[in-house]
Amino acid sequence: MSAGVAPLVTLDDIRAAAERVRGTAMRTPVMPLPWPAAGEVHPFVIKCENLQPMGAFKVRGAFNMLAQLPADARARGVITYSSGNHGQGVAMAARAMGVPAVIVMPTTAPGVKVEGVRSYGAEVIFAGTTSIDRQTRAEQEAAARGLAIIPPFDHPMIIAGQGTVGLELLEQVPDLGTVYVPMGGGGLIAGVATAIKLSRPDVRVVGVEPTGAMKMRAARDAGHPVMLETTSSIGDGIMNMRAGDITFAHVRQYVDDLVAVPDDAMAKAVAWLFRNARIVAEPSGAASTAAVMLGLGAPVGTVVAIVSGGNVQPDHFAKYITTS
């Protein structure tokens, strides 16, 4: 690990996070479904993080970090930068604690996610189209207004909170063999992989990103996170241009394989999940199922795909389920 990168999150960190988020983050259900791929058949289960109150797993990490801020920092307020789901998670957690919240979002953020942030009483600021644009604006606002920054993924408290998904999976699917996890900046897979590998090192962990935003694969190939020149994907929640330093350290330590799925596969997975599970998944959340449908990742045993979010524009969702 390079100098300056925080130590890896521990299993005790994740267990402590589970106690903090209890009652705010929902213990989401798992659902057995037909095997979605051709060829070799495995028991298949989805973990429905799209059913969180704000529609995605992000509330776990957000609440875990807010709960550990000093009282004076909470009183001044918090700020984050997000394409949508983390912003909603921070807004929901902040409202639960009576903390003022500001969310910096891209000008291209889906309306359903902007509306979700505002529904929790948070202030929205729009800044550019990239994660760098909104991070820069958030840092400026934080300095000017004395706000505490709640980063979207690259922080041990965020990773520990997201890792509670992994703890639940180990209890809900005792014969777990392989888990597929969508990857943006890497907070979810860092936490899930840590929880699982420190409990059941035999379980296979596969990270899934869009072919138009393979930032984790680029980091693996280079040996450290690198900035992609451009990204493009319908999976707006996993379209980051760079993996996190801390998240990549966890991925390098605990993740068995990294795979990538094209946009059409994510759209087909959204439609498949609707037809077979009657759930609403956004393309980012369906990336894990898309990887299974494509036969990627060399699965073993009972396979779980984490459906990480369900905040999708209604007109886009209608297109996916009628044309894919």
- Annotated active-site residue 308? The verdict is yes
Q: How many CA atoms lie within 13 A of 224 on its CB side?
A: 5
Collapse the DSSP code of 273 into the 3-class scheme (helix H, G, I; strand E, B; otherwise coil) and give the result: helix
- CB of 300 closer than 8 Å to CB of 257: no
Residue 74 pairs with which residues in a beta bridge?
A: none
Closest Cα to residue 85, out of 124, 59, 111?
59
Q: How far apart are CA 260 and CA 50, in angstroms?
A: 21
- 47, 58, 215, 268: the active-site residue: 58
Collapse the DSSP code of 16 into the 3-class scheme (helix H, G, I; strand E, B; otherwise coil) and give the result: helix
Q: How far apart are CA 131 and CA 222, in angstroms?
A: 21
- 82, 131, 288, 308: the active-site residue: 308
- What angle (nearest 5°) sits at the alpha carbon of residue 232, between those of residues 82 and 158? 30
Q: How far apart are CA 209 and CA 81, in angstroms?
A: 20
- CB of 317 closer than 8 Å to CB of 280: yes
Burial (0-12, 13-18, 19+ Cβ within 10 Å), 266 = buried
E strands, the chain, in order: 30-33, 44-48, 78-81, 101-105, 123-126, 148-149, 176-182, 204-210, 257-261, 302-307
Closest Cα to residue 259, out of 230, 216, 227?
216
Catalytic residues: 58, 308
